[in-house]
Structure 1
Amino acid sequence: MGRDRERDYLAGLLRDARSGRSGAVVIQGEAGIGKTTLLKQIAADAGDMRLIRGAGVESESELAFGGLHLMLHPYGDRFDALPGQQAAALRSAFGLSAGPAGDRFLIGAATLTLLSELAADRPLVCLVDDAQWLDNASLDALLFAARRLGADPISMIFTVRDGVRPFPDRGLDVLRLAGLDRATARELVAAHAPGLTVPVRERLLDEAAGNPLALIELADALESRPARPAGPLPVGGKVQENFRRRLAELPDATRRLLLVVAADATADLGIVLRAGDALGLGPADLEPAEDAGLVVLDGEEVRFRHPLIRAVTYQDAAHHRRIDVHGALARVLDGDAHADRRAWHLAAAATGPDEDVAAELERVAHRAGQRGGTAAVAAAYERAARLSTGPEGKARRLVHAARASYDAGRPDQATRLAAEAEQLSGQDGVVAEATFIRAQVAYERVSPAADAELALRGAALIVGSDPEQAVSMLTEAMWSARDAGADDLVRQSVELLQRVRLPAGAAKAPVTAGLIAYGRLWDGRPGTVPAMRAFFKAAQTGEVADVIERLIGGFIGLHVADDRAATELLERMAADARAEGALGWLPYILEALAIGRVLLGDLRGADAATAEGLSLAADIGMDMQVTALKGVAVRLESDAERSRAMAPDVLAHAGVHPTNAALASWGLALHDLADGQADAALERLDAVCSGPARHDVLIRAVPDHAEAAVRAGRPDLARTHLPAFEAWAAATSSTALLTRCRALLADGDGAGEHYQAALTLHGDRAYDAARTRLLYGEWLRRRRRRTEARDELTAARDAFARLGATGWAERARSELEVLGDRPAASAGDTDPLKRLTPQELQVVRLAAAGLSNREIAAQLYLSPRTVGHHLYKAYPKIGVTRRMELARLISEA
């Protein structure tokens, strides 16, 4: 009754799914507002669609993947159709195999692929009621799938009750349910309680405020117990009070057995009756509750008619009765299959510290960790800590809980637990780990500088006792200090690294030496490149295996101008992360990879990596990484309008993350330079080259600064930052850009020789060569060497067009027009890859490499159907009809 607007909206979702378009929505509202009723209507309207249903249960919210298991375990026979890593992760999460689950987001990718596989038979609708009570691992997986649905015939609908806990609906449509309008509410009351007098009915309508459950329950109550002429309605206008009154009218034994039902979420009648028998209760004690319409018996299951009845039953019970019930359930839940539930019931029955129960919960945490349920690991360790009998045991378990909370993406909880452990413990190792966790949270929540300061504090405690862990912390400190542009923190990191004494042949030795060398570079000390190259080499060969250390090794490779080798390393790391399902690492790797591609002049490849990283980072809530990737996107130069639109978000974080802001400023300056706004470019580039982030790959901005200064008529400023760049170029044997700078600043005909030398030194770096050709062509034009100028400018224009550097291509066209040319088109204008979106380009590249749609989907965390949709759209854009043509097209491009 009523809800026409909402029903139409949801019917549209089903129509979209039937026509091959996905959709997801969160229905929010207070208890009793009609969310479950809408789901029942959707289920009825689904007809021949495949229907998958799930529901959150409060007492199950700490059992890792419990909700997802109930929804998907019937389709275990389809797991073999998933990519190997995804299938293994899902089996591990459901306890079907003993292998590790891997990255917590891999289960989300597996869920997405499985739903897509099931939807291949017929359109699918997935309904999840009371999603606020789903265990975090299941919720993360389902929301990941919902956010990455594409060209799939799937509708996903979640209902969420207000006032329970915040629901992460980011990126999803939200349908908010308000109360029924008065006319519809009046009809509903009349249908359930036609005998109510008009005054009582109107009072009921006022107090129920359009809540359907309140209208029904209170109407029924008022028919049997009329209201007084004045004063509030006998139930206080709250449906919970009505349920409370009805429960109070039941026999004591019935209420006690209902408490067993409320405390156990299995809904298994056998378990309920066995626990009841341990408390002296029998099957007949359920009958009054069934007669009162409070519970429903369905075969071997017993369920409350509404979740509010469960809540009132449990919350109103005396504490000692809850303890008795949990103890009884723990006794009857025997066997390995119920080990986790038994441990949680034991914990609920504990009346004080209990080391045996704490140890049981540690085993629960261990099992949850093997399945990939990091949120469940955190919950189990935290409860174990509360039951610990000594402060050091409590602190140790709290640190484990904090680490698991951080891994689960719960930074506030991780900080709270780590801070408590830090205060409790007197052991340096525990305090250091707690401080390290707070440092890692601080990177996102406060600033990279705050991360570095805390990591330094933690490392100082263990630099002598646990050198390898100290190096891990100091790696975090050094790189966060680099992001913050904080010279003093870099210097402190170097000082502590120099105190580390690693065992002979330790894997972290090249990391330590490389980071010390990198840190010394910030002080302008020479002789650092060999140690940095050794670190990079160790990352290339796998001698350094830790992901963050390999990633930093890739960055170091870019810094010492081994751009191609570093980019190849980062390509392999991205492929490994996809293959292993290490989705949480991928946005960081894609950031470095995009920068590497930019430095090589592969602007389209950089665009594809950035777009993929932005999509993933946004979907999994990595806000700081979204900002970092936007900084790279601004630097891409392929779309000036998009770059300028993204820049404010990045520049707003300049105070806490100057490296991202400097990268964005560099990008904006290049757009200015291409547009002929040399003064604006010079101002931006001067800030970049003299700012706190002037080290690292941003040293490459110096030649652009020199060009901007010369174009702005300020050759005196062009030499401002050249000494630092000359030192870097000499140390890295990277002299092409330096030679271009010398050409810009040369007098007379000597400039031409420098330009020609620079073009030889550029080798296969098409972008750098095109920039030099543009400058050389302009110089030749000014010298009235028109034919030579036309050749260089035409080559520059065509190269820029092929690379997607549209602003620079236009600049070259303008220079040709000065020579009197009016070209109708250039070679680059016919490049078909320009017509693809970044994601289409990524899919086409992988298809050209010989990967199937299913393999591409596994790499990009999309559904196979969405991959097919991208190829379907890409083929006519690039003029191919068969997959085998893609390899030739990509190779030619």
Structure 2
Amino acid sequence: MPDRDDGPLIGRDRELAELAAIVEMAEHGPACVLICGDAGVGKSALLRAAARHGRRAVRLTSDAESATVLEQLTGDGPVLLLADDLRPEALLSLTETVCHASTGRVALLAAARDEAVPSGLSSAVQRLYLRPLAEDDAARLLDAEFPATAARDRRDILRRAAGNPLALRILSDPGGQVPAEFTQRVRALPAPTRWLLLHAALADDAEHVGTLTEAAQCSPDLRDWEPAERAGLVTIHRGQVRFRHPLLRAACAAGRSVSDVVRAHHGLASAVGDPQRRVRHLTESTTGTDEPVAAVLEAAAEAAMSRTDFFQAAEAFQAAAERGAGEKAALRYARATFAAHRSGHPEWAIELYGRAADADPDPDAAGVAAYGAAFSLVHTVQPWPAFELAARAIRRGPRDRRVTLMLAFVAANAAFYSGAAAHREHLPHLLARAGDDDSPPPGRELIPPLDDTVIRAAVLAVSNPGRHGQSVDYPRPAGSRPADLLHMAFTGTMAFLRDDSPRAANDLRVVFDASARSDGIGSAVSSCHLMILAMIDSGRWADAASRLDEAERLAAVQSVPVLRVFVPVFRTILRALRGAGPAAEPDPLPLLTGTSEIETLTQRAAGLTALAAGDHPRAYSHFRRMFDEDGEPQHFFFGPRSLPQLAMTAARTGHLADGQRILDRCRAVAGPAPTTRMTMLLAHAGALLDETERAGPLFEDAIEDPERALRWPLEFAEAQLNYGLWLRGRRRTHEARAHLLAARDVFLRLGAHAHADQARRSLPIGLRPAGDPAPRPDAFTELTAQKQMIARMAAAGMTNRQIAERLFLSPRTVGSHLYRIYAELGVGTRHQLRTLIETGG
């Protein structure tokens, strides 16, 4: 396997930072570190990456130079010595020379396998133990180097590689060869031992050594295992066989004939007690049409479904379909599609749907397959094909109305992603095809019992939130069975659409956590984006950040495109809301045609980032893109919920008329009975766009209900802050103080530091709480010359863009400077800045 260098080093940020610190130490004297780890774990790659931090790097491949040579090398500056895979005695000599005989500026970075670390190594040598990659980092490496790996193979490769980068590459590459150092150690063993090791390599790690011995028909006294233990290939502890390296497992199967492998699987299928493990070996030991075997596999799949082990269920259903024919094969492919979706492998589910469609299942089975495939299309960010697939399956007329209801629900999900009015208008017609008969067709039950009322309400709420969003409340199920979690997914979705953010966050969190712990990852993916948004809206930012970490791991391990899209968007939103300073420029975020939900949230993330930097023109441009030329929201739900930000930036940039037109359209979208949250947001935006005294009553309408502060703390506090600023502008300072202080306290509790600073600075100096710092008289004169110039231009009424053009800077840089200027001077607005400069204080 050739060296892989100069690419990004995945999953080694901490180790690389430690090595970079060692290199920096060489500025002051000798430093030495030894990287230890198994073969193929990435020691050489880490050395190469660390070498890029050194001014001069010298690679050593033989015995160490003398102290005199080292002194000569370091005369003109620090030197980085790289020693990779030296003999133990040479490594010992080199470390002794660097640590004890050299006074030059030299850093030694050496690498050695655990078993090759010399005894007697100096205590001055720091040791860095390089361990296997975490599962999500291993998945990222797999995607970077072998992006076309099939979803079904991906999970097995990650399991067998066990985080070892070299093993991952060899197992992923169809032409990959196990290095000779591993295969030769296996070939040196007696034939009975090699036969036992083949069974161990094909079996699950949990299999007992006695079971493996029985399957291989070897001596029951375990004598045939002893050569492998003495050679250091495996350990046997408490009946469990463990390979010392993942490539040793691969070496045990390398070079074996197909008949040997099939025979070993057949023996394991006969000896293994666990039904699911037996099914896997049965699958690998049979080929072609075999209905008795297919029936056994189908029964195992049913058992796996009842345990919510959806991955194994999908594998078993697929294997059963491949060994059956006709209507039975079509139904099995359909159920495999459903199970693959629930396991969180969308690309696999889409592939299985193609096989199910080719087998031409009946309308009920076709509907089950279409449900799994349509949801998988949503999870691969293809909502338009998803909607068409679900609608087409409904039009085929399933006899089981529950299949039709589930298809209507996935169509509603696709419509929510696409935001297309045509999709939402069509939902009631699809729902009407479900009819009222609650009994499934005799003889089979493909879909679990569902709450008809909740599903219908969720679908109708997507079709027209203004009309159907305010429905009756629904009790939470008491259990945690799959049907209970499915019910809670519906109630959580309903709560989100009704702007009941706290309940949406709670219900969807239960679904996400339970699904992520089990093998029902598909439900976790489905609930993730609404859960995160509900947590952000209800002020549970720490919970949102924690679930984002888990979602990022799932996105990598499961290879789920929709999570890869959403996670950076939500991280950008949280970073902008939390920032103690200007939020960082977001990474380029995708703008995907036909997904107005993602497009709208992406624009919101970019707008909040610009707003945190004080760049109102750029912020306005992003918020404005959330609406079309006529002011219609690009996404019916998310566009109106950014109205206050749109209104504020419109007012700051001279776009009042355009902002008012958008506000009027959003009022129409909200309908005659908007939710309590939308009532607050509409009033807040209206006040920001009104330059007359009528703004006061609108602000009061926005904050009239204290319950809103508990349900949507950030949005309520923002309304209080802006009302306080409005009151202060009219010299009603004592009234302003109460609102500014209340807003500041909420911002501090949430961790919205920039908001909190603005609220504090906006308080008149004489009305600030005891202990708040007052502006120092000499603060302005202590600013740098550039900052003083920017402050004077801003105080004179110039916009960030005008200042940027005058000083040859970017508007974002100007906004960052102004943010820091305000903090250093203790002011909160340009008016206060102008007053401070004019008074000389």
Match status 1:638 vs 2:573: no
Of 476, 483, 498 in structure 1, the residue corresponding to residue 432 of structure 2 is 498
* Residue of structure 2 equivalent to 1:27: 40
Report the counterpart of residue 607 of structure 2 in structure 1. Answer: 669
Map 1:567-582 to 2 at 5 A: 567-570=505-508
Q: Is residue 468 of structure 1 aligned with residue 402 of structure 2? A: yes
Counterpart of 1:382 in structure 2 is: 318
Q: CA deviation at 1:414?
A: 3.2
Select the residue among 112, 115, 118 that pairs with 1:41: 115
2:684 maps to which residue?
740
Distance in 1, Cα, partners of 2:718 & 2:317: 58
State how 1:156-305 maps to structure 2 within 5 Å.
Answer: 160=167, 162-165=169-172, 212=181
- 1:703 and 2:652 aligned: no
Aligned with residue 592 of structure 1, among 530, 535, 549: 530
Which of 662, 687, 697 aligns to 1:721? It is 662
Q: Does 1:537 align with 2:474?
A: yes
* Structure-2 change in CA distance of 1:24 and 1:620 (3 Å): farther
Q: C-alpha separation between the residues in 2 aligned to 1:405 and 1:493?
A: 26
Q: Distance in 2 between matches of 1:297 and 1:551?
A: 45
- How many angstroms does 1:501 deviate by? 0.5
Aligned-pair distance for 1:480? 1.9
**CA–CA distance in structure 2, aligned partners of residues 41 and 600 of structure 1:** 54
| Native 8 Å contact 2:377 2:386 kept in 1 | yes
Shift of 1:809: 2.8
Aligned to 2:596: 658
TM-score (norm. length: structure 1): 0.55
Q: How far, CA to CA, are the matches of 2:611 and 2:241 in structure 1?
A: 72
The match for 1:184 is: none
Asked if residue 456 in structure 1 is aligned to residue 530 in structure 2, the reply is no
Corresponding residue of 2:417: 483
Whether the 8 Å contact between 2:580 and 2:752 is mirrored in structure 1 is no
* Bigger relative contact order, structure 1 or 2 (CA pairs below 8 A, ≥6 apart): 1
TM-fit CA distance, 1:160: 1.9
The equivalent residue for 1:803 is 750
Question: Which amino acid in structure 2 is aligned with residue 804 of structure 1?
Answer: G
Partner of 1:880: none
Q: Which residue does 1:151 correspond to in 2?
A: none
Please list, as runs of the form range in 1=range in 2, the aligned pairs for 1:718-797 lying within 5 A after superposition: 718-727=659-668, 728=670, 730-732=672-674, 734=676, 735-746=679-690, 748-765=692-709, 766-790=713-737, 792-797=739-744
Residue 815 of structure 1: CA displacement?
A: 3.7
CA distance in 1, matches of 2:545, 2:168: 40
Tell me the amino acid that sits aligned with residue 578 of structure 2: D
Q: Quote how far apart the aligned CAs of 1:688 are.
A: 1.4
1:275–1:328 CA contact under 8 A, matched in 2: no
1:375-419 C-alpha deviation (Å, 9 max, x unpaired): 44444433333332x322222333344444444444444333321
Post-superposition offset of 1:339:
6.6
Q: Distance in 2 between matches of 1:28 and 1:328?
A: 34
Unaligned runs of 5+ in 1: 4-8, 17-22, 46-54, 56-103, 106-131, 147-155, 168-175, 180-210, 218-239, 828-893
2:618 is aligned with 1:680: yes
For 2:167, the aligned partner's letter is: V
In 1, distance between residues paired with 2:416 and 2:624? 19
Give per-residue Cα distances to partners, 1:805-863, cap 9 Å, x unaligned.
Answer: 2232333345447x788989659xxxxxxxxxxxxxxxxxxxxxxxxxxxxxxxxxxxx
Shift of 1:475: 0.7
Question: 2:410 is matched by which residue type in structure 1?
Answer: E
2:453 corresponds to 1:510:
yes
Q: Which residue in 1 is equivalent to 2:372? A: 437
Q: Counterparts of 1:44-443 in structure 2 under 5 Å? A: 160=167, 162-165=169-172, 212=181, 311=253, 314-315=256-257, 325=263, 329=267, 337=273, 352-366=288-302, 374-388=310-324, 390-443=325-378
Separation in 2 of the partners of 1:743 and 1:296?
73
Contact 1:594 1:606 in 2 (8 A): yes
Is the Cα–Cα contact under 8 Å of residues 468 and 502 in structure 1 kept in the other structure? no
> Structure 2 vs 1, CA of residues 666 and 528 (structure 1 numbering), >3 Å: closer, same or farther?
same
Deviates more, 1:600-609 or 1:489-498: 600-609
Distance 1:409 1:747 in 2: 52
Distance 1:480 1:642, change over 3 A: farther
Return the alpha-carbon distance in structure 2 between the equivalents of residues 297 and 764 of structure 1.
Answer: 61
Q: What SS is found at the alignment partner of 1:453?
A: helix
Q: CA deviation at 1:482?
A: 0.9
The unaligned stretches of length 5 or more in structure 2 are 4-11, 20-35, 43-84, 86-111, 120-131, 137-149, 440-448, 774-841
Residue of 619, 628, 652 corresponding to 2:566: 628
Is the contact between residue 608 and residue 619 of structure 2 (CA under 8 Å) also seen in structure 1?
A: yes
- Number of residue-to-residue matches in the alignment: 615
Q: Distance in 1 between matches of 2:656 and 2:436?
A: 50
In the TM superposition, what is the alpha-carbon distance from 1:486 to its structure 2 partner?
2.4
State the superposition RMSD in angstroms. Answer: 5.8
Partners of 1:309 and 1:276 in 2: CA distance: 21
CA contact (8 A) 1:422 1:435 kept: no
Q: CA deviation at 1:468?
A: 0.7
Q: Is the CA contact 2:199–2:212 (under 8 Å) kept in the aligned structure 1?
A: no
Distance 2:252 2:516 in 1: 43
Superimposed CA distance per residue, residues 59-105 of structure 1 (whole angstroms, 9 cap, x where no aligned partner): xxxxxxxxxxxxxxxxxxxxxxxxxxxxxxxxxxxxxxxxxxxxx99
Amino acid at match of 2:653: A
Q: Is the 8 A contact 2:321 2:333 kept in 1?
A: yes
Matched residue of 1:696: which SS? Answer: coil
Query: Equivalent residue for 2:786?
Result: none
**Does the 8 Å CA contact 1:435/1:458 hold for their aligned counterparts?**
yes
- 1:845-882 Cα distance to aligned partner (Å, 9 max, x none): xxxxxxxxxxxxxxxxxxxxxxxxxxxxxxxxxxxxxx
Distance 1:491 1:307, change over 3 A: same
Q: Residues 715 and 348 from structure 1, CA distance in 2 versus in 1: closer, same or farther, beyond 3 angstroms? A: closer
CA contact 2:308–2:519 (8 Å) conserved in 1: no
Tell me the CA shift for residue 446 of structure 1: 4.8
What is residue 528 of structure 1 aligned with on the other side?
A: 468
Shift of 1:516: 4.8
The separation in 2 between residues aligned to 1:729 and 1:797, in whole angstroms, is 33
The letter of the residue matching 1:160 is A
Distance 1:614 1:445, change over 3 A: closer
**Separation in structure 2 between the aligned mates of residue 821 and residue 297 of structure 1, nearest angstrom:** 73
> Following the alignment from structure 1 to structure 2, what is the Cα–Cα distance between the partners of residues 301 and 603?
43
Q: Secondary structure at the match of 2:40?
A: strand
What amino acid is aligned across from residue 628 of structure 1 in structure 2? F
Task: Confirm or deny: 8 A CA contact 2:489 2:508 kept in the other structure.
Answer: yes
Tell me the alpha carbon deviations over residues 43-65 of structure 1, each in whole angstroms, 9 at most, x when there is no partner. Answer: 999xxxxxxxxx9xxxxxxxxxx
Query: What are the Cα deviations for residues 206-263 of structure 1, in whole angstroms up to 9, with x where unaligned?
Result: xxxxx5468x79xxxxxxxxxxxxxxxxxxxxxx9xx7xx99xx9xxx89x9879857
Contact 1:491 1:519 in 2 (8 A): no
TM normalised by structure 2 equals: 0.58
**1:20-45: CA deviation from partner (whole Å, max 9, x where unpaired):** xxx9989369xxxx9xxx99939999
